Structure formats: C-alpha cells, structure tokens
Amino acid sequence: MHSLERPCHQPTLNRAWPFKLCSQAPLKNGKKGCREVHLPFFLDFLGAFGVKIKPMPPPGKLFIYEIEGRVYPPDDLTGADFLGCWREGDHSYLFFPRPMEAAVKAWVATQEGARYSSESVMNYADWEAGQPLQKTSMAGFHLCPVWEDPTPAAGELVIRMEPGLAFGSGYHPTTRTCLELLRRVYAADGPRKVLDLGTGTGILSLAALALGAERVVAVEYNELAVRTCARNLKHNQRRADVDLIQADARDYAGLPAGLTLANIHLDVLLDLLAIPAFLTKDWYIFSGILGTQLEVFRQRLKETPLQEVETLHENMWFAVLARGGGSLE
C-alpha cells in the first residue's frame, strides 16, 4: 500500500569489474553516468546474475532519518550498514540498523535544497505491524521468512518472504483480507492474467501464481519495494512469471487482465476508478481502505460499471471484491 509518483529512472548493470550502476539519475557532480554500487545494490545484482546470497534476518531496530528534499546519499553513507532510501513526494527517509544521526546531519548540511528533519527509532517488528517476523498461516497459505524452513499444514501453499522495508509481509489486515478474497476468486474462476498495482513485497502476485495465474504484471513505484519484490520472486522461483515494473500504477491501469489487485491508498484507488481503460477487467480486489473511507470508495464505485460482490474487514481496514464486465483472461 503505497503512495505512488512518477516513474524513476531504471538502472542497468555495467558488467565490467568493478561493478558500477549505470543510471540516468544525477550523480554527486550533477552529471549522469556510472557510480560505484554500495553493498546492498551489489548483492541485489549478484543475485540477479545467479549468485546465491544467503538471506539474513532483519535488524532488531531501525534508525530512520527524515530529510526534506529528494536526496541521493553518498558512498560514505551507503556502506554495509545502509538499508536503503525511501522517497515519498518531497521527502527522503534514510534507513540504518544503527545510529547515524551525526553523519547524516553533517552530510545534509552540505546539500543545497535539503534540510534535516528528524530521527525515528523503532523496532523492526513495529515496522511489520507490531508482529515478530515468523512463519504464519492464513487463507490456505503458509508464509515463511526465507531464513527459516517452511512447515506447512496439509494443503497449504508455501510463499517464501523477505519483507525488507516494503509493505506486505502478511501481518497487515489489508494483506490478509486480500489473500482471503484471492482464494474466493480462484474458487469461482481462474483468471490467467493478473495486474498487481502497488505490489509492495510481491506477496499478492505470488499468491495469485500459487493459485493458478499464468502471468502477472506487478507495478510498484517505491524503489526499495521493487528490489524486495524482485528478491521474493527469485526466492519462490517465479521471476519468469512476473513482469515487474517500477512506475506509477495509474500509468499501467489499462493493461489487459482477468484480475486486478490494488492494495493502495484511497486517493490512488479513486484515480483508478476514473480511468475508463481500467474498468475493463473481470475481477477486482481493492484494499487500503480505512474506516469511513469505505463510503467514499463505495460512492465512487457506484459511478462505474463495476459491481461490489463482497467486502471483508479487519481492525477497520476494508478489502472489496468487485466484478467487472470484461472477458475473463
């Protein structure tokens, strides 16, 4: 469930040693070109080329530094301890497993148009909806962290997960209710093509594939979530079955699909319902709807050709199953 923005530039790998990341994003000197890859990116690309990297459990604590402005941290901040940079609108959030406030402040002070805002410290479990990250079963799925061995009950479908800092470990009510509705869709029909808008960790894409989908297009703006989703596809041997796109969900709303998944903020859901090409699928699962937002969403849904079939709720979070008039794919 993410707020979405315009697509950012996609990196490509320069295979010459040492590894460099080639991108159209500006470098520290303001020019575009190649920069050295810090360790997390380096490990991601090693995995992409088939090198096995042993997954490690997440840190116990997260140290999060909010910065006003869209920033690109330098090499001396993005070593082995750097977990990633989350950019939302005009703000950036740097994640570390240990205190880095002095170093972050010193660097931000040298950046034109950037201002240090605050430090937040939280347990990683609190980032994951207040739950310790462990094996769990729901809606006929067995969700297992990649550093543990799965122990599914008879008939459960296994999904291996590395949540990272992305949304969708299975603990949030919206994820659980979406999984329940996915089960009901595939019990009634068998959509072959799935469009997953705001895929996060990729958990719903993986669940749809486990239930019988043949192809998924997964769209996600946040770069940290895209990296995590790519790793989860690899952990589940599903990279060949998913087209993973880093982009604004609204730009891909018109792609053909038998089932669309949209676990995103309400404002994006309302924008999607206003796109005629979006309203041509057969099944829809909407979520990310909190409390009184449900009536706002329902009113907009009534203005479309889609029909509400069923609504589930947990802790004031709602997920809506709707039917469209498209031909099933």
Torsion from C-alpha of 295, 221, 194, 213, nearest 10 degrees: -120
In a domain, 8, yes or no: no
User: Are both 202 and 269 inside the same structural domain?
Assistant: yes
In a domain, 257, yes or no: yes
In a domain, 105, yes or no: yes
In a domain, 173, yes or no: yes
In a domain, 256, yes or no: yes
Our measurement of the distance from residue 297's CA atom to the centroid of its chain's CA atoms, rounded to an integer in Å, reads 22
What does the pLDDT read at residue 248? 93
Query: How far is residue 94's CA from residue 40's CA, in Å, rounded to a whole number?
Result: 14
Q: What is the mean pLDDT of residues 56-82?
A: 83
Tally helices (H) and strands (E) across the chain. 8, 17
Q: Over the range 84-122, which residues count as b (16 or more CB within 10 Å of their CB) and which as e? A: bbbbeeeebbbbbbeebeeebeebbeebeebebeebeee
User: Are both 229 and 103 inside the same structural domain?
Assistant: no
pLDDT digits (tens, 9 = 90+) for 94-139: 888 899 999 999 999 999 999 999 998 887 666 655 455 688 899 9
Q: Which among 112, 143, 117, 129 is positioned nearest to 64, based on CA atoms? A: 117
User: Are both 69 and 123 inside the same structural domain?
Assistant: yes
User: Are both 237 and 255 inside the same structural domain?
Assistant: yes
Question: How many domains does the structure of the chain reveal?
Answer: 2
In a domain, 170, yes or no: yes
Cα→Cα distances 63→99, 167, 246, 250, 299, Å: 6, 18, 26, 32, 40
User: Are both 64 and 191 inside the same structural domain?
Assistant: no
User: Are both 315 and 223 inside the same structural domain?
Assistant: yes
From 79, 113, 130, the end of a domain falls on 130
Cβ-based neighbour number of residue 208 at 10 Å: 28
Range of the domain at 88: 60-130
pLDDT digits (tens, 9 = 90+) for 134-165: 888 999 999 998 889 999 999 999 999 887 66
In a domain, 97, yes or no: yes
In a domain, 96, yes or no: yes
List the strands of the sheet with 84-88, edge to edge. 84-88, 91-96, 61-68, 115-123
CA atoms within 13 A on the CB side of 15: 2
Burial of 212 (0-12, 13-18, 19+ CB in 10 A): exposed
CATH number at residue 291: 3.40.50.150
User: Are both 82 and 202 inside the same structural domain?
Assistant: no
What does the pLDDT read at residue 60? 76
Q: Which among 59, 10, 41, 44 is positioned nearest to 234, based on CA atoms? A: 44
